[in-house]
Structure 1
Amino acid sequence: MTHPAYTPASLPATRSKTTFPAAGTTGRARRARVEPMAVRPLRDGRYAVETTGGTYVVDLDARTCTCPDHQLRGARCKHRRRVALEVTEGLVPPPGERTAVCAVCGGRTFVPTAFEGPALCPRHDHRPGTLVRDRETGDRLIVVAATGERADRVETAEGRPVADYPTNAAYGPHEPVFRAVYLDALRRDGDVKRYAFPASRLRRIDRANESDSGPSPTDGTASPTTA
């Protein structure tokens, strides 16, 4: 899963007109910042820009705007500049993406338009190769795959949903499941088992600040779920 931008849960669904600091800009770039505007993503990937002078439609991919400045002069108008600025700031989704709600924290995040299933913000998403720690046992693992499916729908090798295990009772059954392997198991010969975890049970850790010492996979009090 790819979630390239995250905005706070407090961001209102319908935005009022806002401004940005001038930041030493001039001309159209300045007007794009200091004039009150409200940018609203449309379902077709374009953006409606409401201003005091009217509402215009911007298409970033086609580099067009319905305003007179662009239509008559072919200029990169203040409306196009404002949309690009809000996309860069993570206030609206980029073209081809839509706003979704993180299944763990409820924060707003952006996902591909056609994405289905529970979404995650960058804070709770885990990419393959990410070093994480099991919140229940303290063990370190490497994420190997994202299932994109809910914990109450992904079954383990035992035929039980991941959410049904007592060790996962504190984590939402709606959370996406990740498969991971124990770091210590990679250092031993033999088959390496994959285990399934709800997203928030895995805490991302900083490789640079993580020591090699830590609990072994067998000394924790909570049993993982074999994928």
Structure 2
Amino acid sequence: MAVFALRSDDQYLVDTDGGSYVVDAGSDTCTCPDHGIRGRRCKHLRRVDMEIGIGRVPAPGERVAACAVCGAGVFVPAREAGAVLCGAHRPAVGSFVRDREADKLLVVTGVTRTRADEYRTSDGTRISDYGTNAEYGDHEPVVEAVYVGNAMRSPGPLDVSGRKRYGFPASRLRRLAPDERPHKPVIGI
């Protein structure tokens, strides 16, 4: 039995040896004769529930989008637009990353859905127009971050409030391996 999400929010195609049926997860119905005649919950409805539960197909109200960095499938809200990142390429807010161009340490303050060729800085420049971003995808979402600088030497938590926030194409920032990560709490994000 194979299950495929249809473009309609809550509908799935279930292919079996005996035929193909449409399951509507929102109304808990199936086009199979078993469901129509007996009016009971059929194996196709149960199979769709199982596939949703283990993450093989998007849940009702979700769709599959491609990660802007690697192309892997990511479930997102059906009506949400913009660039997306998979778990491997989406840094957590508050995490430390390294700028591939400047080899400097930063703290992530936000992950947007706005593409680098659409995101503009305060002076109106697109992130993709900066020369140091030429090697990174214009289609990638922008990650906002602050440079840590000398603040790591200060005692106590790292306070990033008041520091200038910069935007970067997602793949320009490298996530740190566990042994590279500073063990310092971050506040003021």
The alignment's TM-score, normalised by the length of structure 2, stands at 0.78
Cα distance, 1:190–1:148 mapped onto 2, change above 3 Å? closer
Matched, 1:209 2:179: yes
Residue type at the aligned position of 2:34: D
Matched, 1:159 2:130: no
Unpaired runs of 5+ residues, structure 1, are 1-36, 214-227
The alignment's TM-score, normalised by the length of structure 1, stands at 0.67
- Counterparts of 1:89 and 1:65, CA distance in 2: 20
Corresponding residue of 1:143: 108
Residue type at the aligned position of 2:56: L
- Alignment RMSD, CA only? 2.6
- Counterparts of 1:174 and 1:141, CA distance in 2: 22
Corresponding residue of 2:148: 183
Cα distance, 1:151–1:166 mapped onto 2, change above 3 Å? same
Alignment of 1:52-71 (within 5 A): 52-71=17-36
Matched, 1:83 2:62: no
Kindly indicate whether the alpha-carbon contact (under 8 Å) linking 2:97 and 2:107 is maintained by their aligned counterparts in 1: yes
Unpaired runs of 5+ residues, structure 2, are 152-156, 184-189
Q: Deviation per CA, 1:150-199, whole angstroms, max 9, x where unpaired?
A: 11121223332111112111101111111111234484798311011101
- 3-state DSSP class of the match of 1:196? strand
- The answer to which structure has the higher strand fraction is 2
Residue type at the aligned position of 1:41: A
Matched, 1:41 2:5: yes
Corresponding residue of 2:163: 192
Q: Percent identity, aligned pairs only?
A: 52
